[in-house]
Amino acid sequence: MAPNARAAEDTAALRAEIAKLKATITVLETRLDAVERSSGQARVEGPQSPAPLLKPARPAAAASASRTLPRQTFGDELTGVARPDTRPPPNDPELKGFLQIPGTETTVKLGGFGKVNAIYDFSPAGNPDKLVTSAIPIGAGGGDNANIDANATRFSFDLRRPSSLGPLRFYLENDFYGGAGTTAFRLRQAHGQVGNLYGGYGYSAFTDSDSFPETLDDEGPGGEMLLRLAGLRYIWTFADGATATFAIDDPSSDITLAAGQRAYQPMPDLTLALRLEQDWGHLQGGAVVRSIGYAAGADDHSETGYGVSLTGLVKVNGDFVMGSFAYGEGIGRYFNDLGGKGYDAVIAPNGDVELLTAYGGYLGYTRHWSPKWRSNLVGGGVVIDRDANLAASAYRSGTYGALNVIWQGSPQFTVGVEALYGRLELQNGLDADVTRLQTSIKYDFVK
C-alpha cells in the first residue's frame, strides 16, 4: 500500500503545480491584453507563421500619380521611361509587384516577360527577327523563309525608395537582341533618378515611347524617333500636367568614314522636350541640336545639325490614336530605320561635311473590341532627300505597315497575330518590298 500512497501524493502535487501555472498564465494574458488595448493592437490567437523576408509594398512614389493614360502594349516600351518625380508608368499605375527589403524603406521588383515570335516571310526580308525596312535586299529574287525566335525575352530590375532629395529610382533592363542572328544578352536600359534629376543609359529625351503604336514586330515603324543612349537630364513640372525636360546626351556622328578618318563631335547632343498631359491623352514637342563631323590627322570638320518633332496619343471613345512626325538635318541617328547606318551626313569631295535632310513619322490606331480583344493598324515611313554625294545604292525611303489582332487571355498571358508590309527605295530608284506574317506569345513574369 505504501507505493500507492506515494503515487497519489505525487499526482496531487503535480496537479497543484499545474493549477499554479494556469493561474500565472491567466494573469499574464490579462496584463498582455491590457497593454495591447492601450496601444491599439489586437492580439491574434493561435500559432503564427514567421514574417516573410520580403513584404509586398507600394512605393511612396506611387502617390504621385501620372496623368498619362493607362495602356498595355505587347512590346512594353513604357516601363523604363524616366518620368517626373519617378511616377508610375501607364501600364502599371499602382506599381504592383514591389517587395520591401526588411529593415529599410527600399522596395524592389524583378520583372520582364518571355516572348516567342513565329515568323513567315513571303520574300527575302534581310532581317529574319525584325522587319527593318532599310535591311530589305534589292534584287534578291524570290524565296520564302520561316523563323522562330525568343530574342525579345526581357528581364528587368526596378528599385525605389524615398530620399531627402525626393523619390529615388534605379532601373535595369536587358533582352537577347545582342547581335544579328545571335541570342547575346543586351543592355537596353540602366539609369538612376532622384527627384527629377536623371542620369544613365535609356531613351533619349527626343523619344516619346508613350506614343509608340503597338506591334508584335519588335522593330516597329521606321519613322519612330527611337534611340537609347547615355545622358543627363532634368525635368521641370508645372501646373495642369505640363513638364519641360532638358537633356545633355552622349554624341555620336553617324557618318560613313574612309581610311584614316574618325568621327568627331565637339559638343554633346542637347535636347529640349515640352509635354502636356491631360485626361484625353498627351502631346509632346521636342527639339535637338547636335554637332556632326569627322577628323583626319590634325584637321577636323563639323556642322551643326538640328531636329524638331511633334508626337502624341489621344483617347477616343475607349480607343487610342497615336502619331509622330519629325524633321531635321543631321538627325538620321534618331530614326528607328536609319540609326547606325551612316545617314547623319556625307563627306563632300572637297572634304566638307554635308548634313542630310531626313523626315518621317507614323500614325497608329488601337481598337478595343472587348476587354480581352484589341487590334492595331499602323502605317509610316522615313525619307532622306536626294543628295549628289550619296551613293546610288544608298537609302532613299522606307515604308512600314502593320495590322494585328491581340487576345489578352489574362493580365499575364497575351497572344497575337500580325500581318506586316515593308518597302525600301534606293537613291537610284530601285526598290523592293516584303510581306510577313507573325504570331507572338508573351508571358509576363510579374503583373
State the pTM of this model.
0.85
| Per-residue pLDDT, 302 | 94
What is residue 41's predicted lDDT score, i.e. its pLDDT? 54
Compute how many other C-beta atoms are within 10 angstroms of the C-beta atom of residue 239: 5
- The reported pLDDT for the residue numbered 193 is 98
DSSP codes joined into one string, 63-102: GS---SPP---SS--STT---GGGPPPTT-TT-TT-EEPT
The CB density around residue 402, as the number of other CB atoms within 10 Å, is: 27
Q: What is the pLDDT of residue 166?
A: 92
What pLDDT score was predicted for residue 65?
61
Residue 190, class by beta-carbon neighbours within 10 Å (0-12 exposed, 13-18 middle, 19+ buried)?
Answer: middle
Tell me how far the alpha carbon of residue 236 is from its chain's centroid: 21
Q: How many CB atoms lie within 10 A of CB 292?
A: 29
The amino acid sitting at 108 is V
Report the C-alpha gap between 313 and 293 in whole angstroms: 35
| 3-class state of residue 14 by DSSP | helix
Sorted by sequence, the CB contacts under 8 Å of residue 85 that are 6+ apart come out as 61, 64, 166, 167, 195, 196, 237
Largest CA distance in the chain: 128
Query: In sequence order, what are the residues at sequence separation of 6 or more whose Cβ sits closer than 8 angstroms to the Cβ of residue 154?
Result: 76, 112, 113, 115, 173, 174, 175, 188
Specify the pLDDT at position 297. Answer: 86
Q: Would you list the domain boundaries of the chain? A: 1-48, 55-444
Query: CA-CA distances (angstroms) from residue 147 to 121, 151, 161, 218, 400?
Result: 9, 12, 43, 14, 20
b/e 74-94 (16+ beta carbons within 10 angstroms → b): bbbbbbbbbbbbbbbbbbbbe
- In the block, cell 493561435 appears at 46
Residues of the chain below pLDDT 70: 1-10, 14, 35-53, 60-67, 180-181
Fold topology of 55-444: Porin (2.40.160)
At residue 355, the pLDDT reads 97
Q: How far apart are CA 368 and CA 376, in angstroms?
A: 9
Cα separation, 221 vs 214, whole angstroms: 10
* CA distances from residue 128 to 122, 123, 137, 288, 440 in whole angstroms, order as listed: 12, 11, 12, 33, 14
Q: Look at residue 1 in the predicted model and tell me its pLDDT.
A: 46
Question: In whole angstroms, what is the distance from residue 247 CA to residue 197 CA?
Answer: 10
CA distance 169 to 55: 19
**Residue 110, Cα to own-chain centre: how many angstroms?**
15
pLDDT in tens, 390-414: 999 999 999 999 999 999 999 999 9
Is residue 366 within 8 Å of residue 338, measured between CB atoms?
A: no
